[in-house]
Amino acid sequence: MKFRYCTSESVTEGHPDKLCDQVADAILDAVLAQDSQARVACECVATTGTLMIMGEMTTECYVDISAVARKTLREIGYTRAKYGFDADTCGVLTAIDGQSPDIAQGVNHAYDAKDALDIGAGDQGMMYGYACDETPEHMPMALVLAHRICQTLAAKRKTGALPFLRPDGKAQVTLAYTPDGAIDHIAAVVCSAQHDENIPIEDLRRALLNDVILPCLPAELVQTDTQYFINPTGRFVIGGPQGDSGLTGRKIIVDTYGGFAHHGGGSFSGKDPTKVDRSAAYAARHIARNIVAAGLARRCEVSLAYAIGVAQPVQIGVDSYGTGVHDDVRLAEAVARVFDLRPAAIIERFGLRRPLYRQTAAYGHFGRDDLNLPWEACDFVRQLSDEL
């Protein structure tokens, strides 16, 4: 049998890019905890011994940005200089300005507003949401497994079960699909974990295989010829921002669907919900998951597009990859009738003006049934079914 292969990756919370995402969202949460109407677009850069926080922020509250950043780094596990980054001794630089009034005027009052509360989109752009029936979370199996491996790496490190582990790490899973689209087996797993310099490489590889990787994989998908590449370079002592600089928004495929769907290019972390890069992407995922949960398609990608300062999306699309029980145009028309996709309506529906973002900044923004995120609810199944 000829197979089609698909791969997804994930990274741990100590990865330098993910470190930056978490700091940005921790700052956003700290601001929203005091000022729910704040406008925030915060980004971070990390390198050896230094964290820089920059962007635009309009708020009436005061947040000790440096203290929030250091607390986040400490919680991730960067607490000793020997790990390559230390929350208490690293330099934290800030460069924060107010939101441009040219942007603010379009957000405050939409071009197509029907009332004074109708805010406009904070920027133009395309956003995509995806769901499939491969897992209970309606997410691609390869990405779910990659996230699971990285979460296990972090848990084994934090509990001391594998004391030689350090904060940085990543995983990648390749699945083999049959011609009819069913998952046949796991073809390959890659796992690289930062570690103490004194552990022999073979001991490290054995522990990661038996204590981290295999417990995360469905036994029925593992074959005798499944390949494992564990710390394939042989040494990963220097990691985190010391080994590679970090930047907010550089892991957008890890954040979303692992390459199984399109991406509009905008990152999520550090942005308040008036930025449709974030809120509309959450809305698109919510729609796609409800379509799949309703049995209207086995796979579904929802696309939205906005114009800056305009409330209504300029485009709504559905692609069911030929798995829909109705044609895609009919599905898109039903979506437009059932869902209010103005930014203010999305914000209200999901309750997005509150501190809930730091928890999403590692291990994915979607398929997180453990976090009870509002955009993961299958609460529009009946409305969609009735509309069709």
- Each of the 388 residues of the chain gets a pLDDT tens digit; together they read 799 999 999 999 999 999 999 999 999 999 999 999 999 999 999 999 999 999 999 998 999 999 999 999 999 999 988 777 899 999 999 999 886 665 555 566 555 666 655 777 878 899 999 999 999 999 999 999 999 999 999 999 999 999 999 999 999 999 999 999 999 999 999 999 999 999 999 999 999 999 999 999 999 999 999 999 999 999 999 999 999 999 999 999 999 999 999 999 999 999 999 999 999 999 999 999 999 999 999 999 999 999 998 999 999 999 999 999 999 999 999 999 999 999 999 999 999 999 999 999 999 999 998 899 999 999 999 999 999 8
Residue 317's nearest CA partner among 281, 284, 286 is: 284
Residue 49 has what pLDDT? Answer: 94
Residue 19 has what pLDDT? Answer: 97
Residue 115 has what pLDDT? Answer: 64
For residue 182, count other CB atoms closer than 10 A to its CB.
9
Q: Label residue 218 exposed, middle or buried (CB < 10 Å: 0-12, 13-18, 19+).
A: exposed
What is the rounded CA–CA span in Å between residue 297 and residue 162? 42
Q: What share of the chain is helix, strand, coil (3-state, %, to 5)?
A: 35, 25, 40
What is the rounded CA–CA span in Å between residue 127 and residue 129? 7
pLDDT tens per residue, range 226-283: 999 999 999 999 999 999 999 999 999 999 999 999 999 999 999 999 999 999 999 9
Residue 354 has what pLDDT? Answer: 97
Q: Are 276 and 125 in contact (CB under 8 A)?
A: yes
Q: Are 194 and 40 in contact (CB under 8 A)?
A: no
pTM of the model: 0.95
What is the rounded CA–CA span in Å between residue 248 and residue 126? 19
H helical segments located in 193-327: 201-207, 214-216, 240-243, 252-255, 276-293
- In the chain, domain spans: 4-10+141-238
What is the rounded CA–CA span in Å between residue 369 and residue 347? 20
Task: Give 19's contacts (C-beta < 8 A, 6+ positions apart).
Answer: 13, 44, 46, 73, 76, 78, 85, 240, 241, 246
Rounded to whole angstroms, what are the CA distances from 105 to 57, 108, 153, 168?
15, 5, 46, 42
- Of the candidate CATH numbers 3.30.70.360, 3.40.605.10, 3.30.300.10, 3.40.920.10, the domain formed by 4-10+141-238 belongs to 3.30.300.10
Residue 325's nearest CA partner among 141, 112, 133, 113 is: 133
Helix (H, G, I), strand (E, B) or coil at 332: helix
Task: Give 182's contacts (C-beta < 8 A, 6+ positions apart).
Answer: none
Q: Are 208 and 231 in contact (CB under 8 A)?
A: yes
The share of the chain scoring above pLDDT 90, in percent, equals: 88
What is the rounded CA–CA span in Å between residue 89 and residue 78? 10
Task: Give 191's contacts (C-beta < 8 A, 6+ positions apart).
Answer: 149, 153, 169, 170, 171, 172, 208, 212, 213, 228, 229, 230, 231
